Structure 1
Amino acid sequence: MKKIKDRGAKKWTAMMLTEHTAMLRQWPETDMNKEQKPKLDESQIREFEETIHYAMAFAYPIRLRCWIEGLIEEKAGRIHRLDEVGRWIYLKDGDDALARIRFADIIGVEIVNS
């Protein structure tokens, strides 16, 4: 009877690329940085809407703080268009790239002094 020579755990290590192991090490860190969405009252929301309309009317650059899937991101640019029915803001940044942002995701609005 011929004995089978098994490589043991070595045969499975070849399936893990260095990118995979790096991503697995970073994975718990990204989940730990997630935050709960801040609660906004109606006066804050009204103030955000007024600032957004003012910035659009006079073509001022604006900075939006957005809560997206547990992470807070800042987006800056000029408002290209508002979709009030779908509640979306189309923001054009310095590279003329359009970003689509939901009104519900906005947690801060600021007009940027240029």
Structure 2
Amino acid sequence: MAIRDRGKIKWQPASFIPLAFEMQRAMFKDQERQPKPLINDYQAEEFDQRICYAMENSFVVNLTLWDDGFTKNISGHVHYVDTITHQIRIELQSGKFERIEFRNVIGVTVVDA
């Protein structure tokens, strides 16, 4: 008596499992998102003063940035502040620069060395 097996048809429902895991990871990541904190004019002015102070004295600056619902920290020397494009150019390492927009900055700390 021969075994009558469905062959590949029985494994077809399992083909979506990697996609389901990917969708589940994206869902959990979306749940961890935070709304952007509101920065008033006084805090923005204080951030500007700290950045100028650090740039004049060549101190390291720790910037807290808001990026699409998540915060990240960047530290380095402020190289240039562009008031026309509203960007800060910060030197992370020797010769490695990154441009940051003013509207993404939610915290500034100056490290006095």
What is the identity, as a one-letter code, of the residue corresponding to 1:33?
E
Alignment of 1:1-114 (within 5 A): 7-8=8-9, 10-11=11-12, 13=14, 23-94=22-93, 96-114=95-113
Cα distance between partner residues in 2 of 1:38 and 1:50:
20
TM-score, normalised to structure 2, is 0.80
Q: Residues of 1 paired with 2:68 and 2:14: CA distance?
A: 33
Q: Give the match's secondary structure for 1:110.
A: strand
Give the match's secondary structure for 1:36: coil
RMSD: 2.3
Change (3 A) 1:102 1:9: farther
> Unpaired segments of 5 or more residues in structure 2?
1-5
CA positional deviation for 1:67: 0.7
Unaligned runs of 5+ in 1: none
| Count of aligned pairs | 108
Distance 1:33 1:23 in 2: 16
Instruction: Say which structure is richer in helix.
Output: 2
* Aligned-partner residue type, residue 71 of structure 1: F
2 CA distance for matches of 1:88 and 1:65? 15
Structure 1 letter corresponding to 2:49: E
SS at match of 2:58: coil
